[in-house]
C-alpha cells in the first residue's frame, strides 16, 4: 500500500506531504501560494490508477505470502508529469 504522498504546485513549486487518501482532496483545489490548480484532472486520474495498482499489488503480495511465506516489495518513488491520450 502507498505509505506517503505529496501534492505540489507546478507553477510555484509549493509542496505538501499528505497521506495518499488526502491527495484526492486536492483535486481542482487552488495553490495556497499562487492560486494555480494543485491536482489537475490528468494527475487525478493517474493517481487513482496508481492507488488501484497499489491495492492490487498489496492483495497479490498477501496471496503470494500465504503460499510461499515470502513478501514482495514494490516502490514507486516519483511521478512528475502525466499526459493522457
pLDDT tens readout for residues 13-40: 899 998 888 888 989 999 999 999 988 8
Identify whether 78 is part of a domain.
Answer: no
> What's the number of domains the chain is made of?
1
Residue-range definition of the domain harbouring residue 34:
5-68
pLDDT tens digits, one per residue of 36-69: 998 888 888 888 888 888 888 888 888 988 999 8
Identify whether 47 is part of a domain.
Answer: yes
Identify whether 27 is part of a domain.
Answer: yes
Identify whether 75 is part of a domain.
Answer: no
Identify whether 30 is part of a domain.
Answer: yes
Identify whether 13 is part of a domain.
Answer: yes
Identify whether 20 is part of a domain.
Answer: yes
Identify whether 74 is part of a domain.
Answer: no
CA distance 45 to 28: 12
pLDDT at 85: 47
Q: Would you say the pTM of this structure is higher than 0.75?
A: no
Amino acid at each position: 500500500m502507498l505509505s506517503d504522498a505529496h501534492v505540489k504546485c507546478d507553477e510555484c513549486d509549493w509542496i505538501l506531504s499528505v497521506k495518499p487518501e488526502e491527495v484526492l482532496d486536492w483535486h481542482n483545489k487552488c495553490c495556497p501560494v499562487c492560486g494555480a490548480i494543485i491536482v489537475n484532472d490528468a494527475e487525478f486520474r493517474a493517481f487513482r490508477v496508481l492507488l488501484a495498482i497499489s491495492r492490487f499489488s498489496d492483495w497479490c503480495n498477501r496471496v503470494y505470502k500465504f503460499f510461499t511465506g515470502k513478501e514482495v516489495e514494490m516502490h514507486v518513488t516519483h511521478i512528475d508529469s502525466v499526459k493522457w491520450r
